[in-house]
């Protein structure tokens, strides 16, 4: 798994749980985006059969998580809200090297960025599984944890299968730093990848 270079404070989990429907709606969009980005990678790297197969399995799992979160939103009398852009995901993608310059560099970066998003989501699911004040949220995040852990391990493994180890290590280190710096700059919001709430 990639290394997270910052730790989400428990105050983040307490704050996002004050608006559970907003958190769940944002989370549902994270699942949709994860499925869509796996499908987009398949489309761009059709000759890498093993990669296509693994990414298809991820997309199927993410869509089943989407349905699980959507059902919980409905159970609570809410509806899925339109998905606003994610400054977290956009910030990470801005650090990714471009497809038109080098297809392989771009793929390596996309795999590592996906691995970082999964690792950060796992960290936050684990906090919510313990700290969420209501049992329904604790159960959801405890349930989704193992799958997220699997994805967080899979993406760096795919990077190592398709690229040289030293090349992966060098890029992983740079992107790990980008991720922590980006998160530190983001404002708090009731969203899965928001910044920490300010004290007071
Ligand atoms: Fe998921
Ligand atoms: Fe995932």
Closest C-alpha to 120, from 186, 22, 69: 186
- Please give the distance, rounded to the nearest whole angstrom, from the Cα atom of residue 200 to the centre of ligand 1: 33
- Please give the distance, rounded to the nearest whole angstrom, from the Cα atom of residue 199 to the centre of ligand 1: 30
Ion ligand 1 neighbours, Cβ < 5 Å = 31, 62, 65
Superfamily holding 12-82+98-185: Ferritin, core subunit, four-helix bundle (1.20.1260.10)
| Ligand with an atom nearest the CA of residue 61 | 1
- Please give the distance, rounded to the nearest whole angstrom, from the Cα atom of residue 3 to the centre of ligand 1: 19
Q: Distance between CA atoms of 48 and 72, rounded to whole angstroms?
A: 36
Helices then strands, counting H and E runs in the chain, come out as 7, 0
| Ligand with an atom nearest the CA of residue 63 | 1
pLDDT in tens, 152-199: 999 999 999 999 999 999 999 999 999 999 999 999 999 999 999 997
DSSP-derived letter for residue 3 is P
Q: Distance between CA atoms of 133 and 163, rounded to whole angstroms?
A: 43
- Please give the distance, rounded to the nearest whole angstrom, from the Cα atom of residue 100 to the centre of ligand 2: 27
| Structure token pair of residue 5 | 């270079």
Per-residue pLDDT of the chain (200 residues; tens, 9 = 90+): 999 999 999 999 999 999 999 999 999 999 999 999 999 999 999 999 999 999 999 999 999 999 999 999 999 999 999 998 999 999 999 999 998 889 999 999 999 999 999 999 999 999 999 999 999 999 999 999 999 999 999 999 999 999 999 999 999 999 999 999 999 999 999 999 999 999 75
- Please give the distance, rounded to the nearest whole angstrom, from the Cα atom of residue 118 to the centre of ligand 2: 5
């Amino acid at each position: 798994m990639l290394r997270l270079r910052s730790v989400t404070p428990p105050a983040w989990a307490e704050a996002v749980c004050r608006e559970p429907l907003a958190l769940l709606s944002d989370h549902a969009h994270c699942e949709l985006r994860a499925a869509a980005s796996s499908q987009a990678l398949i489309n761009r790297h059709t000759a890498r059969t093993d990669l296509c197969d693994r990414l298809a399995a991820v997309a199927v799992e993410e869509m089943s998580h989407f349905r699980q979160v959507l059902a919980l939103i409905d159970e609570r009398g809410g509806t899925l809200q339109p998905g606003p852009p994610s400054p977290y995901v956009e910030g990470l993608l801005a650090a990714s090297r471009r497809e038109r310059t080098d297809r392989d560099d771009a793929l390596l970066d996309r795999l590592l960025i996906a691995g970082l998003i999964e690792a950060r989501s796992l960290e936050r699911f684990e906090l919510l599984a313990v700290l969420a004040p209501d049992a329904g949220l604790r159960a959801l995040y405890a349930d989704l944890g193992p799958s997220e852990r699997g994805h967080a391990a899979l993406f760096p493994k795919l990077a190592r299968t398709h690229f040289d180890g030293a090349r992966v290590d060098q890029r992983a280190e740079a992107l790990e730093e980008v991720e922590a710096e980006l998160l530190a700059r983001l404002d708090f919001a009731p969203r899965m990848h928001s910044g920490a709430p300010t004290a007071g």
